[in-house]
Amino acid sequence: MRADIRVALVGNPNTGKSTVFNALTGLNQKIGNFPGVTVDKKTGYCDLPNGSTAEIVDLPGTYSLYPKSRDESIVFSVLADLHNTHRPDLVIVVLDASNLKRNLLLFTQVADLKIPVIVALNMMDLAKKNNISIDIDLFARKLGVQVVPISARKLEGIDNLKSAVSFAGSLALQENTIDVAAIAPQLVSGIKKVVNTDNPYLALQLAHQHETLAFLSEEENEQIEQLERDNDFHSQKAQAAETIARYNYINDLLYDTVTQPPAAEAETASNRIDKILTHRVFGFVIFFLILMFMFQAIFSWSAWPMTQIENLFIWLQSVIHNGLPDGPLTNLLADGIVAGLSGVMVFIPQIAILFAFISILEDTGYMSRVTFMMDKLMRKVGLNGKSVVPLIGGFACAVPSIMSTRTIENWKDRIITIMVTPLVTCSARLPIYTLLIALVVPNRNVWWIFNMQGLALTGMYVLSLVSAIVVAFVMKLIIKGRERGYFIMELPVYRMPRWSNVVHDMYNRSKTFVLEAGKVIIAVAIILWVLASYGPGNRFKNIEQKYHQPQYTKHIAPAELNKIIASEKLENSYAGVLGHVMEPATRPLGFDWKIDIALITSFAAREVFVGTMATIYSVDGDADNIQSVQQKMSSAKNPETGKPVFTFAVAISLMMFYAFAMQCASTVAVVYRETKDWRWPAAQFAYMTVLAYTISLITYQLLR
C-alpha cells in the first residue's frame, strides 16, 4: 500500500505508544524487522480526514536518544539518517501526561533534530484523576508544535490526532530547546562541515555515536574521530551537561504550564497495592496462586468448546469417507490432512485462554511487578530481572521471547536467558500435555476446588520454570563474562485491562499459532500419510494375500480382520520401518515405534506430535469407526502384552521428554539469528536432548 506521508511514533516505554499505534491503525498492521538488525518493526496504515493515507511506524520505546540497547539505537538511526528508507516525514512524540518531566527529555532531543513534530499528550484521563492540570494552549505555544490531548485506551482524541497529522506541515517549526553549540562549539562546527548539515544537535549526537552508526562512511568516521581528539571531547561530560540544560528547560516549561498536587493520588494507590503484590513473601505466594488459577481455568473453561471442535472434525471425517469414493485421495484428505489438523485445532480454546491471561497480566501492569520481584532471585542464578519477561513470554512461544532478550544489556545474562528460555513450557507443549494428562490423570477434584488434571498441568509449568533456573545457575558457572549487569525498569500504575485489546491480542496470537502450525502440520501430515500408507517392496501385497486365505477369512470377523490388516500394514510401512529403527534406543524410555515416528516428525514443531498421533491412529484404525485422537490413543493396546500403550509411566515419561527436548526448528533458527554463532544453538540442542533422554529414562524406570 502506498502512503502519502510516513509518520513515526516515538516515546518512552509505558507511555501507551503501542496503544496509540493500535488506535491509529486498527488491524491494518504488520510486524517485520528493521533492515540488517533483528529489532521488531511494526508498521500500519491510517486513513486521514483529508482523504490521504499515512504509514505509521512504531519505533522501539526509549528514554533518550543515547541508546542503552540495540532496540533503542534504532530510533536515532532512523531519525538521523537522511537516506534511511524508514525516515519519517513527521514524528508523533507520545508523552505520558501524568509523568511529563521524565517524558520531555526525549521530546526535547527529537525536537532539536528539526524533524516536524506533533505531541500526543496521552493518558489525560489519568492526569485528571491525579488532579494534574495542563494548560494545553500555553504548552503548545512554548514548544512551538501541535499538542493533542488524548486517552488512547479510551480512544479519546484519536480523531483529533489524525486531523493534526493531516494538517502538519513539512517544515519543523519548533524552537531550539537548549543551546547545543555551547556544549562543544568547535567540535559541533567541525562535524557540521564533515557531514554537510546545518543541525548542531545532529552534529553533537554524531560525536557521541558515530562508532556505531552504519550510515556514516569510513572517511566521515575518521574525520569525526580526529575532531574529537583535537577538541578533547569527553562524551560522558557532554551528555551530563546536555541533560542538565534540558532539565532546566523542562523545569521552566512545567512551572509555567502544569499544576499538580505534591503527591499524585494514583501513585499512592499503586504503592498501597504494591506493598502486597510485591511483598517478599506474599508477592511470590500471590504470583503462584495466579499461575494456578490460570492453569485451572485453561482446563475447565475450554472443555465445552474443545468437545464441539472435536465433534466437528469427527463429523467432517465421516462426511468425507461417506461422500467421496474410496481411494488414496479420500484417505489422504480424511485420515491425513483432516485428522492431522484436528489434533491442533481442538486446542485453540486452551491456547486462546492462555494468551488472554498473559495479555491481562501485561495490560494491568502486574507483569512489570513480577519482573521487579524476581530480579533478586534471578541475579543469584546468573540472570537479571529483565530475564523474567522472556521466561514468562516463553509460556506463549520461545521464538519472540528469545528475540525480546535484546533488552538485556549484559552479554552473559542475555546468553544464559537465551539458552534456558526454550525450557519454559510454551503453548506448543500445551496440546501434548493436555492430551497425555487427559489419558492418565483422573478428571476429578481434590480438596474441593482443585482439579487433578489442572494440578498436573500446573506441575509441568512449575517444573519448566524450576529447570530453567537450575540450568541457568549451572551456566552461570560455565559461561564467562566481564560485563556487569544492571536493572532499570519503570513500574506503571495499575490499570484495568482493556478488554478490546485483550480480545485483539488473543485473536492475533491464536491466529498466528494456528496458521504457522497449520502450514507445518499439513506438510507433515501429507508426508506422514504417504510414509504410513505405503511400504517397501511387496510387503503390503503379501499382507493382503496372507489374510485372504481361508484360515483367516473363515474364523475372523471381517471388521476384526480389516483392523488386523491395517495394523500389520502400518508396521510394515516406511513410517513403521523408521520407527522400528529407533525403537531399541527409546524402548528404555517406554516408547514404541509409533511414538518414535511422532518424535521424528515433531522435531520441526512440538505441536506436530498430536497431529502425527492422530494421523497414525487414523491410518491404523477402522475408517468406519471414527474417534477423537484421545479415544484412539486411550484404546491403543500393546500387541505383545495386550495392555494399554499409554500407561501412567509412558505418558509421564513422554511429557518429561517434551519438557526438556528442543524439538523446535524455529527456536534453533532464532537462537542462531540472535547469537550469530552456530555453536550456541548446537550446544543448546545437545544439552536439551541429553537432558530430555536422561530424565525421561529415569522417570519411566521409576514409575513402570
Binding-site entries for Mg(2+): 22-23, 25-26
- Dist. CA 277–CA 552, nearest whole Å: 70
Identify whether the C-beta of residue 59 lies closer than 8 Å to the C-beta of residue 68: no
Three cell numbers written together for 56: 505509521
Identify whether the C-beta of residue 348 lies closer than 8 Å to the C-beta of residue 342: no
Which phi and psi angles does 150 have, rounded to 5°? -140, 165
Identify whether the C-beta of residue 644 lies closer than 8 Å to the C-beta of residue 634: yes
565-575: burial string, b at 16+ Cβ within 10 Å, e else: bbbbbbbbbbb
Residue stretches of the annotated binding site for GTP: 11-18, 36-40, 58-61, 122-125
Residue 134 burial (CB count, 10 A): 20
Element (H, E) at 149: strand 146-149
- Dist. CA 531–CA 612, nearest whole Å: 12
CA 540: distance to chain centroid? 46
Longest dimension (CA), the chain: 104
Which phi and psi angles does 677 have, rounded to 5°? -150, 120
Q: Which of 525, 614, 598 is nearest to 337 (CA)?
A: 525
DSSP codes, 344-362: HHTTHHHHHHHHHHHHHHH
- Dist. CA 508–CA 246, nearest whole Å: 41
Q: Which of 169, 172, 170, 165 is nearest to 24 (CA)?
A: 165
Q: Fill in the amino acid letter for 328.
A: P
Identify whether the C-beta of residue 529 lies closer than 8 Å to the C-beta of residue 370: no
Identify whether the C-beta of residue 45 lies closer than 8 Å to the C-beta of residue 53: yes
Q: Which of 116, 108, 117, 118 is nearest to 201 (CA)?
A: 108
3-state secondary structure at position 251: helix
Residue 616 burial (CB count, 10 A): 32
Residue stretches of the annotated binding site: 11-18, 22-23, 25-26, 36-40, 58-61, 122-125
Q: Give first-to-last CA distance, the chain, whole Å.
A: 60
Where does 383-451 have alpha helices with state H?
A: 388-393, 398-403, 411-420, 429-440
Where does 114-262 have alpha helices with state H?
A: 124-129, 136-143, 158-166, 185-195, 200-209, 218-230, 235-257
Residue 200 burial (CB count, 10 A): 22
Residue 52 burial (CB count, 10 A): 13
